[in-house]
Amino acid sequence: MAFCAVCGKGPRSGNNVSHANNKTKRVWRPNLQPARIVTDNGTHKRVRVCTSCISAGKIRKAG
């Protein structure tokens, strides 16, 4: 399982629903991207972060 290192967002499950109302299981996965970030103590760390956290500026990229 893959989770966002910042917000903890992970896979969600539900159903595909056809026009005939047939239901089959499916999974929505977060859009995770590898990123080198600067941690609180100033070190660099490679983590997987969701794109919504990157867009919101919740991380500081190293580089």
Give residue-wise pLDDT tens across range 1-59. Answer: 799 999 999 999 999 999 999 999 999 999 999 999 999 999 999 999 999 999 999 99
CATH superfamily membership of 12-56: Ribosomal protein L28/L24 (2.30.170.40)
Distances from the Cα of 44 to the Cα of 10, 26, 32, 55, 58, angstroms: 23, 36, 18, 19, 15
Q: Where are the domains of the chain?
A: 12-56
Contact call for residues 35 and 49 (beta carbons, < 8 A): yes
User: What is the predicted pLDDT for the residue at 1?
Assistant: 75
- What is the DSSP track for 7-54? T----EEEEEE-TT--EEEEEE---EEEEEEE-TTS-EEEEEEEHHHH
pTM of the model: 0.83
